[in-house]
Amino acid sequence: MDTTLSETQRLLRESLRDYLSNEVPFDRIRELEREGGADQTLWEYLAGAGFLGLPFTEAHGGEGGELTDTAVVLEELTRRACVIPFLETTASALAIE
């Protein structure tokens, strides 16, 4: 099994990693953890940039990407310890699609 990321997936990883390190400070993550809330600003960014629609077909309003694309996004979000329901939402929506 080839686990090498495509050029597009590497760019996806780098762009999200850059955004997270510049726009999602650890202080905010800790505060959200204490409050028990989700990062609405990050969620809106992910939706607007198309990250939330990656694994879904274009016929369903998605980006038509691969599950590996979604795994790349999930890996970066967990790497930064982001407080959002990305996995839960994506998995639930995929089950319905």
Q: Is residue 43 part of a domain?
A: yes
pLDDT digits (tens, 9 = 90+) for 11-67: 999 999 999 999 999 999 999 999 999 999 999 999 999 999 999 989 988 898 899
DSSP-derived secondary structure letter, 4: P
Q: Is residue 87 part of a domain?
A: yes
**Domain assignment present for 1:** no
* Of 97, 39, 42, 21, nearest in space to 65 by CA: 97
Q: What are the Cα distances from residue 74, in Å, to 35, 41, 59, 63?
A: 22, 17, 23, 16
Whether the pTM exceeds 0.75: the reply is yes
Is residue 12 assigned to a domain?
yes
Residue 60: per-residue pLDDT:
87
pLDDT number for residue 94: 85
| CA distance from start to end of the chain | 26
Give pLDDT, residue 62.
87
Range of the domain at 71: 7-96
User: Domain total for the chain?
Assistant: 1
CATH of the domain at 77: 1.10.540.10
Q: Assess if residue 2 is contained within a domain.
A: no
CB atoms < 10 A from the CB of 61, how many?
8
Residues in the chain: 97
Asked if pLDDT for residue 96 goes beyond 90, the answer is: no
Predicted confidence (pLDDT) per residue in 7-27, tens digit: 999 999 999 999 999 999 999
In this structure, is residue 76 part of a structural domain? yes
Examine residue 19 and state whether it is found in any structural domain, yes or no. Answer: yes
